[in-house]
Amino acid sequence: MTNTRTDPMELRTELVDRVHKFGPVFADGVAEGERERRLPESSVRAIDDSQVSRCWTARAYGGLETDVRTLSEVTKALSHYCPSTSWVVNNINGSNLLAAKFPQAARDEVFGTNPGAKLASIFAAQGTAVRTTGGYLLTGAWPYGTGILHADWAILIAKELGADGAPVGGLSILVPTADLTVEDTWHTVGMRATGSHTAVATEVFVPEHRVIPAALQRGRENATDTTLAPLFRTAAIAAMATICASVVIGVGQAARAFVVERAPGRGIAPTGFASQPDSPTFVSALGKTALQIDAAELHVNRAADAIDAAAASATALPDRELLRIRGEVGQAVNLVTVALDELMWAHGAAAFAQSNPMQQYWRDANTAARHAMLNVHVGHELYGGAFFGLDPIVPSL
């Protein structure tokens, strides 16, 4: 499948259409993914065939080079079929965008002969790197490696150790997953099929061209570089947080649609209502809940559009705007998780049957919403502090 559209809006529509085309494949893989705690191979092939993992890969390498709003729409649509698949696609694209910060020699190595290369990234500095001739020796264990079982490469953060063994700085390191081992550590109640296990390295040699300072990886010096395409001027951390939230919103939308679809054929025990829409209480509660999910989407759409507008105009987003975005994504997922609780009440006790998708939506959304980037309490503090010029409580925005 190739990109047949050049207009950004047409490409956005085409990509969402591709999600729906392959949606039955993703949906059919949910049970196996839950059971095996990894995406089925059929789902991975559908990701490749639909090219939704290439949204944030450069056109020069055969990627689609879309914007944040486009990937947001893609992940929202994917969540209707399989939230874990949506989360993995989110992480692949975010990691591919982070790879753009490495030198061209490294990018050529990753994407040159494989435009569909899939990356994973783990931000926690859980490893160490020791300089050696021509590069570094990497050792450590990095948990929560979403998609690591299907990734070709991984971006890992490590502490560089000096000659005396003391840390001298942070590094961002690009390493083929073939050089890593994976420890089976992902045992969770939600987002089970993401296979977010622990990546392990033991004195893995990494050449210098695949190592950059962690500060450069997180930095936004590229924001005004007009020699770059808009995608690569994008505030990457803010963009990744926005897409993480988009996954959760898609889950909320899927749950709402399911409740609405089933409502006419469901009664309300122990009342005399034989059909839920006959109950004014049910209808009113649904209206309130639907508006909460709509409000969450509006927050994320505003964040995505602000990031894209800045990238398109080669303008650096001010810190206050970035702080607001972190507040918005946290607020958005909090709105969805609260709405999901109400939808569980509205649908009834059957929502907790293992065969009912509602319980999985509830588990997956609540698990994803606890990602560090989406912490609603941190987001509130970041945005609140912006009104007084307080120093951010997180190292990168």
How does pLDDT run across 8-64, given as a tens digit for each residue?
899 999 999 999 999 999 999 999 999 999 999 999 999 999 999 999 999 999 999
What would the DSSP string read from start to end of 26-71?
HHHTHHHHHHHTS--HHHHHHHHHHTGGGTTS-GGGT-----HHHH
Quick one: 203 and 320 in the same domain?
no
Q: What is the pTM of this model?
A: 0.96
Tokens of 196: 């977010």
Task: Give the C-alpha separation, 44 to 26, whole Å.
Answer: 9
For residue 151, the model assigns a pLDDT of 97
Strand order in the sheet with 181-183: 181-183, 197-207, 135-145, 119-132, 153-161, 167-176, 211-213
CB 177 within 8 A of CB 120: yes
**CATH code, 370:** 1.20.140.10
Q: Which amino acid is at 64?
A: L
* Percent of the chain at pLDDT exceeding 90: 94
Report pLDDT for 1. Answer: 61
Say which DSSP state 372 is in: G
The reported pLDDT for the residue numbered 4 is 52
What is the C-alpha separation between 171 and 160, in angstroms, rounded?
6
- Tell me, yes or no, whether 309 and 382 share the same domain: yes
Q: Which of 187, 213, 239 is the last residue of a domain?
A: 213
Q: Which two tokens stand for residue 250?
A: 């898609």
**Within a domain: 1:** no
Residues 90 and 155 both lie in one domain: no
Give 123-168 pLDDT, tens digit per residue: 877 899 999 999 999 999 999 999 999 999 999 999 999 988 898 9
What does DSSP say about strands 153-161 and 119-132: parallel, antiparallel, or unpaired? parallel
Q: Mark whether 205 and 240 lie in a shared domain.
A: no
Tell whether 31 and 50 lie within a shared domain.
yes
Give the tens place of pLDDT for each residue, 162-195: 988 898 999 999 999 999 999 999 999 999 999 9
Average pLDDT over residues 359-364: 98
What pLDDT was estimated at residue 86? 98
- pLDDT number for residue 65: 97
Q: How many residues does the chain have?
A: 397
Same structural domain for residues 93 and 124? no
**Boundaries of domain holding 102:** 8-111
Question: Where residue 169 sits, what CATH number does that domain have?
Answer: 2.40.110.10
168 in a structural domain: yes
> Biggest alpha carbon distance in the chain?
78
Residue 153: strand pairing partners: 119, 176
Number of compact structural domains in the chain? 3
